[in-house]
């Protein structure tokens, strides 16, 4: 068993659980509850405190996603799906969607002025972020279910490749 591959897989999965779970919690539990129970001033104060902490989680998750994702793709899964264009096409789409998710997550967790317009409409953008995350997870499931292509050393012998028993 390759321990580094196992660690990278778990880092990828735990980053997804943390980031996506956090998005769903914020959008569908925390935001509606805070809006219903707090004054506007208290709500803004809570939002500022959460953003300061959540920003560190978002940055860590993105870093772990990128490092573990590239490791998993370049050193493990890419080789298991040689000559399988559907896998590589799905990976490309998934990667582009992931970049959109990272961008949105950074904008929503930023306290900088350049992201104020996105934060002002956080309810909408968190819903978009949640939807994109579900699409990416679904694509990952499809990719995981695709059969592995045989490696050259383990390729089955085709009838046309087999030697004629009379030649031996």
* pLDDT tens readout for residues 27-51: 999 999 998 999 989 988 998 899 8
**Residue from 10, 17, 3 nearest 133 by CA:** 17
* pLDDT tens readout for residues 147-161: 988 766 544 444 444
If one counts every other C-beta atom within 10 angstroms of the C-beta of residue 39, the result is 8
pLDDT of residue 133: 97
Distance CA 148, CA 79 (A): 9
Distance CA 160, CA 79 (A): 26
Q: Assess whether pLDDT exceeds 60 at residue 97.
A: yes
Fill in the DSSP letter of residue 112: S
Residue 165: pLDDT band by 50, 70, 90 thresholds? very low
* pLDDT tens readout for residues 98-108: 999 999 999 99
Are the beta carbons of 136 and 115 closer than 8 angstroms? no
pLDDT of residue 83: 87
| pTM reported for the whole predicted model | 0.82
Residue 116: pLDDT band by 50, 70, 90 thresholds? very high
Quote the strand ranges of the chain, DSSP E: none
pLDDT of residue 17: 96
pLDDT of residue 151: 66
Q: What proportion of the chain, given as a percentage, has pLDDT over 90?
A: 76
Q: Assess whether pLDDT exceeds 60 at residue 162.
A: no
pLDDT of residue 166: 52
């Amino acid at each position: 068993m390759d321990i580094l591959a196992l660690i990278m897989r778990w880092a990828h999965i735990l980053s997804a659980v943390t980031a996506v779970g956090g998005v769903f919690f914020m959008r569908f539990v925390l935001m509606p509850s805070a809006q219903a129970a707090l004054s506007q001033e208290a709500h803004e104060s809570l939002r500022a405190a959460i953003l300061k902490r959540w920003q560190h989680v978002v940055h860590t998750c993105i870093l772990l996603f990128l490092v573990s994702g590239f490791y998993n793709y370049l050193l493990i899964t890419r080789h298991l799906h040689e000559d399988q264009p559907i896998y590589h096409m799905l990976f490309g789409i998934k990667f582009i969607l992931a970049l959109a998710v990272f961008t949105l997550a950074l904008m929503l967790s930023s306290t900088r002025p350049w992201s104020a317009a996105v934060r002002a409409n956080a309810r909408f953008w968190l819903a978009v972020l949640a939807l994109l995350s579900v699409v990416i997870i679904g694509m990952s499931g499809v990719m995981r279910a695709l059969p592995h292509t045989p490696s050259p050393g383990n390729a089955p012998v085709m009838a046309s490749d087999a030697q004629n028993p009379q030649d031996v």
